[in-house]
Amino acid sequence: MLSSIKKRLVALSFLLFSILFSVLGLFLYRQIESLLMASVDGHLHSEMQLIAGFIDSENGHFEMELSEAEVGEYALPLSGHYYQILSGSGEIIARSPSLSIVDTHLPPAARSMEPSYYTIEGPDKGPLRVMSQSYALAGGSITIQAGETLDETYRLIASFRNMIIIIFPSFFIFSLAGLTAITRFSLKRVDSFSEKVGKITEKNLKERLEVEGVESELRPLAESFNVMMGRIEESFEMQKQFMSDASHDLRTPASVVKSYCDVTLMKDRTAAEYRETLEKISSMISRMSRSISRILDVARLDSEAFSLNLSRVDLKEIVIEAMKYFETKALSSDIKMTCSGDSVILLGDRDRLSDAISNIVENAIKYNRPEGVVHISVGEDEEWAVVEIADSGRGMNASEVNRIFERFYRIDASRGEEEGSGLGLPIVKRIIERHKGKIDVKSEVGRGSCFTLFLPLDIE
């Protein structure tokens, strides 16, 4: 339900505002209530002082002086302003005309030298605040009670309460509406982002989110998205390129096979002619199947699911095996292969490393000159196991060296001359990278090339 940021923000603010406004309203209400009560109590206290002042006079003038307090509100019946004086034994010895005219009195208070304040129902049935205090007199004590109606105070408190009940919710509703508008405005950019992102398909992968003038909170998101789109676009282009190169690579031998068949079938042939055609077809099919397995290798090495089957392997052993494998091929071109260095043990995937080294050794023979040499050395330094494969072949210029690890890249001169797919070195690179290693290539046109593989001695 609250999966939308806007709704969540508004709901949370609603909750927060409700709590804040309720607490603030309650606090203000309590403050006002206690202030007003304190003011009533203060007034009662002054009245009490006044009445006590009359009584403190000489005993003989008690009645006469007290009559000075029997004016104003005290003189009006049930006016809400009362006083009453009790003798030490609790009898009423004097009271304000506001009580005596209607012959009523306040509930007598207990004797206490400390002033006490309390609220009762007054003689006029309204709320009455009463202060009572006892005073010691010569030969006894008296208790004075002064009362003041709380009607006005309660009316003030009620109107303040009503004000809170009306003003706060309206203030609250306005702030909520403002907050909703602000939230909607602030998230407008997110809406425009999602609208733009929603329109991106494989046909418009070049689309990017604007970064200039974007709010600082959203800029990293837009930048990361653009970087991600760049990577997706690049890999999408690579996939497209790969598909088209792969189909091209397979289409050529397939059309050669087709034309062999068509030409052979044009008329009756001798058994020898059929044999010759079948041999050509078989060689083409072998070339295609090699290409297919290379394409599959590339796809497999690209997939994240591809994992290395690690074990302790001896690089020298792998190199010797590769040399043995290509011995016949080297001999047929009068190429001499030599190897130096001791065993180097490291953690690696034996089959994959063997694929990588074989590939480079095969190239060193393939792109060599007749009676050339291939020298392989195996060694190690503190960090790396190093395999160096040097040949005396035709070499490559710098721009060619920069491109040989691209898929399907073959130097023009080698096209047609030597069989190949242009997938060998990209596979080598991927295998070495998976081993957290690196490849260095040095080459000079007409003099030869040297491929150096660096493999970490411990890849864990």
Please report whether residue 335 would count as binding ligand ADP according to CB under 6 A: no
| Ramachandran region, residue 453 (left: φ > 0; alpha: ψ -120 to 50; beta: rest) | beta
DSSP for 10-37, please give it.
HHHHHHHHHHHHHHHHHHHHHHHHHHHH
DSSP state of 220: H
Q: Considering beta carbons, is residue 14 or 409 the nearer one to ligand ADP? A: 409
Count of chain residues binding ligand ADP (CB under 6 A)? 20
Q: How far is the CB of 270 from ligand ADP (least distance, A)?
A: 36
Using the rule CB under 6 A, give the single segment among 172-180, 195-203, 248-256, 386-394 that binds ligand ADP: 386-394
Q: Considering beta carbons, is residue 81 or 287 the nearer one to ligand ADP? A: 287
Q: Considering beta carbons, is residue 84 or 421 the nearer one to ligand ADP? A: 421
**Do the bridges between strand 384-391 and strand 373-380 make them parallel or antiparallel, or are there none, so unpaired?**
antiparallel
**Contacts with ligand ADP in 360-379 (CB under 6 A)?**
363-364, 367
Q: How far apart are CA 358 and CA 319, in angstroms?
A: 8
Q: How far is the CB of 424 from ligand ADP (least distance, A)?
A: 3
Q: Considering beta carbons, is residue 347 or 411 the nearer one to ligand ADP? A: 411
* Amino acid identity for residue 447 in this structure: R
Q: By CB neighbour count within 10 A (0-12 exposed, 13-18 middle, 19+ buried), where does 374 fall? A: buried
Of 18, 87, 414, 452, the one binding ligand ADP (CB under 6 A) is 414
Nearest-5° Cα angle at 86, 80 to 87: 165
- Residues linked to residue 143 through DSSP beta bridges, in sequence order: 86, 134
Q: Considering beta carbons, is residue 122 or 420 the nearer one to ligand ADP? A: 420
- Residues linked to residue 440 through DSSP beta bridges, in sequence order: 452
Q: How far apart are CA 318 and CA 378, in angstroms?
A: 10
Q: How far apart are CA 252 and CA 250, in angstroms?
A: 6
Using the rule CB under 6 A, give the single segment among 20-28, 83-91, 142-150, 421-429 that binds ligand ADP: 421-429
Q: How far apart are CA 338 and CA 340, in angstroms?
A: 7
Q: How far is the CB of 393 from ligand ADP (least distance, A)?
A: 5
Q: How far apart are CA 346 and CA 114, in angstroms?
A: 97
Q: Considering beta carbons, is residue 269 or 434 the nearer one to ligand ADP? A: 434
Residues 6+ away with beta carbon under 8 Å from 88: 111, 140, 141, 142
Q: How far is the CB of 460 from ligand ADP (least distance, A)?
A: 30
Using the rule CB under 6 A, give the single segment among 105-113, 271-279, 331-339, 420-428 that binds ligand ADP: 420-428
Q: How far apart are CA 120 and CA 146, in angstroms?
A: 12
DSSP state of 376: E
Residue span 5-44 as binding mask against ligand ADP, x where in contact by CB under 6 A, dash where not: ----------------------------------------
Please report whether residue 420 would count as binding ligand ADP according to CB under 6 A: yes
Of 99, 257, 404, 432, the one binding ligand ADP (CB under 6 A) is 404
Please report whether residue 391 would count as binding ligand ADP according to CB under 6 A: yes
Of 214, 254, 411, 459, the one binding ligand ADP (CB under 6 A) is 411
Is 85 in contact with 55 (CB distance < 8 Å)?
yes
Q: Considering beta carbons, is residue 33 or 406 the nearer one to ligand ADP? A: 406
Please report whether residue 384 would count as binding ligand ADP according to CB under 6 A: no
Q: Considering beta carbons, is residue 80 or 420 the nearer one to ligand ADP? A: 420
Of 83, 421, 435, 437, the one binding ligand ADP (CB under 6 A) is 421
Chain positions contacting ligand ADP, by CB under 6 A: 359, 363-364, 367, 391, 393-394, 396, 404, 409-411, 414, 420-425, 449
